[in-house]
Amino acid sequence: MIWLYLTSGLFLGWSLGANDAANIFGAAVSTKMVRFTTAAIVASIFIILGAVFGGAGTTHTLGVLGDVNAIAGSFTVALAAALTVFLLIRRSLPVSVSQAIVGAILGWNLFTSSPTDINSLINIVLSWIVNPLLACALSFSIYYLLRAYIKKSSMHILRLDQYTRIAFLIVAGFGAYALGANNIAKVVGVFITSSPFQDVKIFGVTISGVEQLFFAGACSMAVGIITYSNKTISTIGTKIYKLTPLSALSSVLAASIVLFLFSSTTLDRLMSSAGLPAFPLVPVSITQAMVGAVLGIGFAKGGRYINYQILGKIGLGWLITPVAAGIISFISLFIVQNVFQAKVYDPLTFEITVPVLTEIEKTGVRAIRLKPLENKVFENQSELRQSLNKIGVDREDDIFKIFHAAKIEYFRIDSNYAKERLNPNQFTSGEIDAVKRMHNETFRHRWQIWDRLRLISEDFSLMPDTPQGEYHNKHLQEKLEIIYTLFKIR
């Protein structure tokens, strides 16, 4: 049954490969610079490499947006997103898989009464706006620079044609890598909590369950590229704006750069350590990036021949996609739970105690309002939400913080496990020693582990709000998430 449930994620991966990969090499194929077979092979290889080796950056954001914690729920959410994408690409319209999976997760939150992290949602929605605008500006600039260079170099047309074909393949590889790294979170991100894969060792090298999950999702994307992406190539490559080889190359490179900016953990660390603002690691839409990039080319050529009618249809699709996915997700979850009697979510237990109220106060929520609920235990998400609404707590951001502090989980620290599993490349020796000193200690809440670690070592304390401090604090949270995952009792 676990493998049956995973098929919806693989179907979503197929849909993404069929739809989004066309944005990477569709312009090259449409302009006859690269054959479809060659482009599909290159894209398939690099999309798998990007997913496996660079896919961790964006999965956390979707996990915070909605922690889909049961395999049947993951199946239903992924299936709702996949159906939304499939129905729209059947009309040969490029759609945003990012919007589909976000809408489906929000449908799950609504069905299970789970709160939505408003900050994560705002970052994702803002990326939907910034993404095409940034791609438009980059495409406009790249096209002007390339055109100026070619005019200055007086290159022979045959040599220019040869160089352009080679450049298309390089850019397609880079774009596919960025696509895999940024988009694998959409394909299998909802399965991470309930993944069927276990860590395995091959020739002394540990391959994590998450990496295996990413590989399976990436393979489904590659199958989508090979079997169906040729159906969606023409919309962006020819219908929005008729592209020449040079303009097609510029637009693909611009879109690929945008995906890389929103998915590279290495770039994120470099910019943060240098005190520069980093791009949020969120899944973004290559479709939106490519549409923005093609518009940039159109504006660079005066904007006279842009097909605003097809552009309007694409924009309408972007508005419909998250709403449709959310509705399909909600209805599907109801059917799977009540008709097929499958557990689409694991009920969580919550408690409002004096220590929990103290922790809630630290988050900026007025805990005094929760006094009527003190010393009560709540058996599921819906029960706690209804109780909060009865006492007048209805801001989604406040509810999210209360859920996070009051959620009961069980943890037990094992020093031997800490020594074996905490990577010295991620944790300092002082941080590892602090965890090992908590051997056999047990906890009911995540924040209790952090409080204990801060008492043992200053390495786990937050730093002031400076560029260096923000860099430290951000990666401290990543380390804590690793600790929580390792020592949680399932």
Q: Total domain count for the chain?
A: 3
* Cβ contact 349:377 at 8 Å: yes
Note whether residue 286 is domain-resident: yes
474 and 441, same domain (yes or no): yes
Concatenated DSSP letters for 214-238?
A: HHHHHHHHHHHHHHHGGGSHHIIII
Q: Phi/psi class of residue 440: alpha, beta or left (left: φ > 0; alpha: ψ in -120 to 50)?
A: left
Domain boundary among 387, 406, 425: 406
Tell me the per-residue pLDDT of 187-199, one tens digit each, with 9 for 90 and over.
887 787 767 777 7
Task: Assign 268 to helix, strand or coil.
Answer: helix
Note whether residue 165 is domain-resident: yes
Note whether residue 343 is domain-resident: no
Note whether residue 37 is domain-resident: yes
Of 42-46, 196-200, 221-225, 287-291, where does mean pLDDT reach its minimum?
Answer: 196-200
Note whether residue 331 is domain-resident: yes
Tell me the per-residue pLDDT of 336-360, one tens digit each, with 9 for 90 and over.
999 999 999 989 999 999 999 999 9
Partners of residue 376 on adjacent β-strands: 352
When comparing pLDDT for 62 and 33, which is higher? 33
285 and 213, same domain (yes or no): yes
301 and 380, same domain (yes or no): no
Question: To which H or E segment does residue 200 belong?
Answer: strand 200-202
308 and 394, same domain (yes or no): no
34 and 85, same domain (yes or no): yes
Angle (CA) 13-18-315 rounded to 5° is 100
Mean pLDDT computed over 275-282: 78
Tell me the per-residue pLDDT of 420-469, one tens digit each, with 9 for 90 and over.
888 888 899 999 999 999 999 999 999 999 999 999 999 999 988 776 77
171 and 274, same domain (yes or no): yes
Helices in 113-208 by DSSP H: which ranges? 118-153, 157-188
- pLDDT for the residue 452: 97
* Cβ contact 123:308 at 8 Å: no
pLDDT beyond 80 at 320: yes
Question: To which H or E segment does residue 352 belong?
Answer: strand 350-352
Mean pLDDT computed over 12-16: 84
When comparing pLDDT for 109 and 213, which is higher? 109
Note whether residue 280 is domain-resident: yes
130 and 275, same domain (yes or no): yes
Could you tell me the pLDDT band of residue 235, with boundaries at 50, 70 and 90?
Answer: low
Mean pLDDT of the chain: 87
Query: Rounded to 10 degrees, what is the CA torsion of 397, 327, 221, 30?
Result: -110
Q: At what angle do helices 354-362 and 396-406 cross, to 10 degrees?
A: 130
Q: Phi/psi class of residue 30: alpha, beta or left (left: φ > 0; alpha: ψ in -120 to 50)?
A: alpha
pTM attached to this predicted model: 0.85
Note whether residue 443 is domain-resident: yes
DSSP state of 240: I
471 and 427, same domain (yes or no): yes
Residues in the chain: 490
Note whether residue 344 is domain-resident: no
401 and 383, same domain (yes or no): yes
Domain boundary among 286, 310, 338: 338
Could you tell me the pLDDT band of residue 69, with boundaries at 50, 70 and 90?
Answer: confident
- pLDDT for the residue 58: 67
20 and 138, same domain (yes or no): yes
369 and 271, same domain (yes or no): no
Mean pLDDT computed over 47-57: 83
Which residue from 142, 380, 363, 132 is spatially nearest to 259, judged by alpha carbons? Answer: 132
454 and 368, same domain (yes or no): no
Q: Name the residue range of residue 354's domain.
A: 350-406
pLDDT beyond 80 at 34: yes
